[in-house]
Structure 1
């Protein structure tokens, strides 16, 4: 199973290189199902893989002039708050088990089920057409609230939230799609690494050998995917990947419901 897990890690990077995003959504299931980590710890490992991968993507876009630093900072600051609130206070406060009426809830099941819902949302964002123009001026409070929510999602499920950040930057900041994608990668990298180092500071037990192996394979996959992207149509790849993520998210939801 671990061998398949390492293969999956490289595929995460390949998908990021091909599509510019989306592949990180596979990181948590990878750690849960192939490396047998509990979902709460898998989100920590995922934050590292997502952070490193997004940082490399951000650097490439920055060199190409496809980043709006000002919009990124305005979005990133409230996002940081969301990540910190969830990783430092919300997640530790959730009991391992609790009862609500006749239903017994398990913390790990709730986290994995929430992640599966995010997977479905990400898949739909890939499959449905995105808005290509801004919606006009947006109140700073609304913009900050959206960013705060994205940070909370990143902190809770260990995913970057690019499918939420990119449309927000396009509609609320008026950025072109390519600039929104590059800017989003910077926000994702910052949020993810903040969450990871916060867990590291809290002395969360980690297998650093496994973490570095998976991270290195994901990074190597990015370069392979970037090379392939020069000769492959994103218009055909993205819907196929979206369908795969949608099916995987649906299977996780069904599995958790049956447990």
Structure 2
């Protein structure tokens, strides 16, 4: 299974390079089901893998002027604070046995996987539905809806902290609608926000978890290699079609996780 896991790690990066997001939604299932990592620990590993891969991916975007630093700071500040607080205080405070219903005990690992699966279903809808780029991104004067940006950033930070996903499918629409960024610039800026909040969120786990650094570094390196492959392929393959197909795949994976955690144990 480890060999399949290493191949899947490359696919995580490829999908990030091809469609600018979505790959992080696979990281936790890959770690849990292919490497046998505990779900709670997998969310911590995912933050590091997603953060490091996004950080590498943001440099070519920045060179082409597709990263808005001011927006990243305004949106990223509440997201970073929320994800760090979630990993540092909320996740450790969740009891090992959350509740029992009709004889079925929902443990902390089951809860984390169910939360992640629900997020996958919502993410898949965003990818399958898609959006025409010319709906947004027409430039013009940038205006910030500060109250909504603060709320959105905090919500994204909490979700990221709980399930270890990058949250790009939430961040990009928020940047377009609330910060009036062009779509391509929103994608680049999102990578910077994801990198910062994921890596800082991971720091909240240091001291709470025993980290297998060898596995973490190998998977991260493979994902980073994948993002370069994805960037190269993105010039030859239609991103819109891939995004929709990937969305259907994520939907199936999300439903599978829900069924497995609730009924096949």
Bin for the TM-score computed over the shorter chain: over 0.9
Where in structure 2 are there 5+ consecutive unaligned residues?
A: none
Q: For residues 191-237 of structure 1, give each alpha carbon's deviation from its aligned partner in whole angstroms, at most 9, with x where no partner exists.
A: 1100112212x252011111111111111111111111111111221
Taking the TM superposition and a 5 Å limit, the aligned residue runs for 1:110-125 are 110-125=111-126
The 8 Å contact of residues 130 and 167 in structure 1, kept in 2 or not, is answered as no
- CA RMSD after TM alignment: 1.6
User: Which residue in 2 is equivalent to 1:6?
Assistant: 6
Q: For residues 33-69 of structure 1, give each alpha carbon's deviation from its aligned partner in whole angstroms, at most 9, with x where no partner exists.
A: 0110111000111111100111112111111100111
Q: For residues 45-94 of structure 1, give each alpha carbon's deviation from its aligned partner in whole angstroms, at most 9, with x where no partner exists.
A: 11111001111121111111001111110000000121022111111111
Taking the TM superposition and a 5 Å limit, the aligned residue runs for 1:88-103 are 88-99=88-99, 102=102
Q: For residues 134-182 of structure 1, give each alpha carbon's deviation from its aligned partner in whole angstroms, at most 9, with x where no partner exists.
A: 8x96642222011000000111000010000000000001100000010
User: Which residue in 2 is equivalent to 1:76?
Assistant: 76
Where in structure 1 are there 5+ consecutive unaligned residues?
A: none
The 8 Å contact of residues 127 and 244 in structure 2, kept in 1 or not, is answered as yes
User: Which residue in 2 is equivalent to 1:162?
Assistant: 168
The 8 Å contact of residues 130 and 244 in structure 2, kept in 1 or not, is answered as no
How big is the shift at 1:130? Answer: 3.1
* TM-score, scaled relative to structure 2: 0.93
User: Which residue in 2 is equivalent to 1:57?
Assistant: 57
Taking the TM superposition and a 5 Å limit, the aligned residue runs for 1:180-191 are 180-191=186-197
Q: Secondary structure at the match of 1:98?
A: strand
Q: Secondary structure at the match of 1:199?
A: coil
User: Which residue in 1 is equivalent to 2:136?
Assistant: 133
Q: Distance in 2 between matches of 1:247 and 1:30?
A: 14
User: Which residue in 2 is equivalent to 1:178?
Assistant: 184
The 8 Å contact of residues 91 and 156 in structure 1, kept in 2 or not, is answered as yes
How big is the shift at 1:20? Answer: 1.4
Q: Distance in 1 between matches of 2:105 and 2:212?
A: 31
The 8 Å contact of residues 20 and 57 in structure 1, kept in 2 or not, is answered as no
How big is the shift at 1:17? Answer: 1.2
Q: Distance in 1 between matches of 2:99 and 2:44?
A: 26
* TM-score, scaled relative to structure 1: 0.95
